[in-house]
Amino acid sequence: MRHLQFLTASDCLIAFQLKDLEGIDTWKDIIVVLNGNRDTKTVDIPEGEYRVACCNGVISEAGIGMPVSGGKTTIDGQSALILYRQ
């Protein structure tokens, strides 16, 4: 449980962070957000600059699009968002 932290979320929205993974994984921090709602939701993510590994059904370990900064971010309805920091 040392590496797992649940983030504040709302109904049908789950968000958690796997943190301080140095020596365990090539990614230092990972944030996973799952939105079971039909509409877009906003979630707060910890400060930092993250690459997008999964968004709208597209997955790429190299990153998708522009980096995302911490703070508020949106996630489409019935989708997953995976962010990481190296």
66-77 per-position pLDDT tens digit = 889 989 999 999
Whether 9 has a pLDDT exceeding 80, the answer reads: no
What burial class does residue 52 get, using C-beta atoms within 10 Å of its C-beta: 0-12 exposed, 13-18 middle, 19+ buried? buried
CA–CA separation, 40 and 76 (whole Å)? 4
- Cα dihedral sign for 65, 62, 73, 82? positive
Query: Which band of pLDDT confidence, cut at 50, 70 and 90, is reported for residue 59?
Result: very high
